[in-house]
Amino acid sequence: MKQAKVILDKDYVIGRIDPRIYGSFLEHLGRAVYNGIYEPGHPAANQDGFRTDVMKLIRDLRVPIIRYPGGNFVSGFNWEDSIGPRSERPRRLDLAWFTTETNEVGLHEFCSWAKEMNSDVMYAVNLGTRGLDAARNIVEYANHKGGSYWSDLRIRNGAKDPFGIKLWCLGNEMDGPWQMGHKTAYEYGRTANEAAKMMKWVDSSIELVACGSSHTDMPTFGTWEREVLEQCYENVDYVSLHRYYGNPTNDTPGFLARTMDMDSFIKTVVSICDAVGGTKKSKKKLGLSFDEWNIWYHSAEQDEEIKKRDRWGEALPLLEDIYNFEDALLCGSMLITLINNSDRVKIACLAQLVNVIAPIMTRNGGGAWMQTIYWPYMHASVYGRGESLKALVKTPTYDCVDYENVPLLDIAATKAEDGTVSIFAVNKDMQEDMLVTVDLRAFDLKEVKEHIVLHHDDVKAVNTEEKPDNVAPITIKDGEIKDGVLTIRIPALSWNVIRLG
């Protein structure tokens, strides 16, 4: 059996985890909103048309914040279309996903629903086809108490109290030529700066996220961040990162190594932020908003076919990736990467939440079930609160096509308010279990309260409506703490949560 050694100390803290790193994302795309969270006429729908079975699955995830309404969609969206009497809301062609947007679910409906989910809203403004005026007006509509044109309109539309949206995205993926209103870094940086100034003049309590690169393979990656931040550094609070991984060559070890890219992506963006801050002699440190991350590949080609076939349909099934067991392992490792970088990553959104590259799937008129990736996301969100601890790790490594010295053991540790330490671990070894010792002498921990394991013998195993528990966690009795040292067996190819008290 392979072995790894870990040292944890209660005083070696990476940082206080911002709960918002367990955020998610709902875009007006495919069946995410329509026929996802909202399906009037469904047996489980409430009086507002929202599915209560889906609400329960989301509540169990304890999602602290949900990014909305896009995504690429937002770059052609008029927010004013989504308010007022539903019968008067326009039907629009959405040029991001070639579908028809009915605007049946709008700002008021979404904010009420999010409140029921105990989730805050992270609202993206359109800096593609729109600009400064639309951006400052929606802040006034959503957050101003009353006595002005837009805030009084909100009140007339039924919401006496402001929505109090605290976190705003300044557009979406503006570096991408696929984006409506795509801009150069300079053009975007200037627009983001002016929008930021005006939005904060309306409500000085809000926080703003500037668009970073859409992914690390963008030819402009790095220079984009630098040039954008040179324009808007002092008026924004976070810069965004987006990243999706796939396994097109069916190389499991290579696929599970992708967090090497994610970790270096984060560290590179931190360096660029600090370099720009340094040249500006700024005291301010920017946070990172990893506001789109996930695995995304299974349905890419199919999406193209659907787009050609059903152009301008409503609530088309788009980007409906079916996640398998190895996807859950990488999802777990990506969460570990976020926790281990939580000194600078303050927001992160699993993209997305329902039906569209999502942990939750639904059938129109039918059931709702958890995909494989639901589990690591739920475990990290529920147990990974408090402080993140700096784990010193000695683990065997492996080489693969793109990376050398990939750790076989990915690990992160957190300490909750009540003193419980949670260890999150992925053993990437395809064959062998790993015996892990964790030096905990700096703590007063007595026992393994729980050891949760997610494993399946088939890396391609999936959950379906008929077999929703095919890939599901179990609790095992294993591991003991003796003289302050935990000794525990981490099964081959598994996601683990070890809770110590």
> Catalytic residue numbers?
173, 292
Q: Which is nearer to ligand AHR, 28 or 42 (CB)?
A: 28
Closest residue to ligand AHR using C-beta atoms: 71
Site mask for ligand AHR (CB under 6 A), range 333-352, x = bound: ------------------xx
CB distance 162 to 151 below 8 Å: yes
Q: Does 36 bind ligand AHR (CB under 6 A)?
A: no
Interface segment toward ligand AHR; rule CB under 6 A; list 70-78, 147-155, 192-200, 267-275: 70-78
Q: Does 72 bind ligand AHR (CB under 6 A)?
A: yes
Interface segment toward ligand AHR; rule CB under 6 A; list 65-73, 139-147, 322-330, 470-478: 65-73
CB of 179 to ligand AHR, least distance (A): 8
Site mask for ligand AHR (CB under 6 A), range 294-333, x = bound: ----------------------------------------
CB distance 7 to 439 below 8 Å: yes
CB of 20 to ligand AHR, least distance (A): 18
Separation between Cα atoms, residue 382 and residue 18, nearest integer Å: 13
Q: Which is nearer to ligand AHR, 303 or 432 (CB)?
A: 303
Q: Which is nearer to ligand AHR, 21 or 409 (CB)?
A: 21
Separation between Cα atoms, residue 132 and residue 118, nearest integer Å: 30
CB of 88 to ligand AHR, least distance (A): 27
Binding residues for ligand AHR restricted to 91-110, rule: CB under 6 A: none
Q: Does 292 bind ligand AHR (CB under 6 A)?
A: yes
Q: Does 240 bind ligand AHR (CB under 6 A)?
A: no
Separation between Cα atoms, residue 125 and residue 75, nearest integer Å: 8
Count CB atoms within 10 A of the CB of residue 316: 22
For ligand AHR, how many residues bind (rule: CB under 6 A)? 10
Give the number of C-alpha atoms closer than 13 A to the C-alpha of residue 265, restricted to the C-beta side. 28
Separation between Cα atoms, residue 50 and residue 474, nearest integer Å: 31
The sign of the torsion formed by the CA atoms of 91, 51, 58, 259 equals: negative
CB distance 59 to 51 below 8 Å: no
Bond preceding residue 47 cis, omega within 30 of 0: no
Q: Does 75 bind ligand AHR (CB under 6 A)?
A: no
CB of 244 to ligand AHR, least distance (A): 7
Q: Does 496 bind ligand AHR (CB under 6 A)?
A: no
* Two tokens, residue 170: 């300044």
Give the CA-trace dihedral at 228, 74, 207, 356, to 10 degrees.
Answer: -110
Count CB atoms within 10 A of the CB of residue 116: 14
Q: Which of 173, 225, 410, 429 binds ligand AHR (CB under 6 A)?
A: 173
* Two tokens, residue 64: 């602290």
Q: Which is nearer to ligand AHR, 72 or 494 (CB)?
A: 72
Single-letter residue type at 152: D
Nearest of 427, 27, 273 to residue 37 by alpha carbon: 27
Q: Does 27 bind ligand AHR (CB under 6 A)?
A: yes
Axis crossing angle, helix 259-279 with helix 325-340, rounded to the nearest 10: 30
* Residue ranges in contact with ligand AHR by CB under 6 A: 27, 70-72, 172-173, 214, 292, 351-352
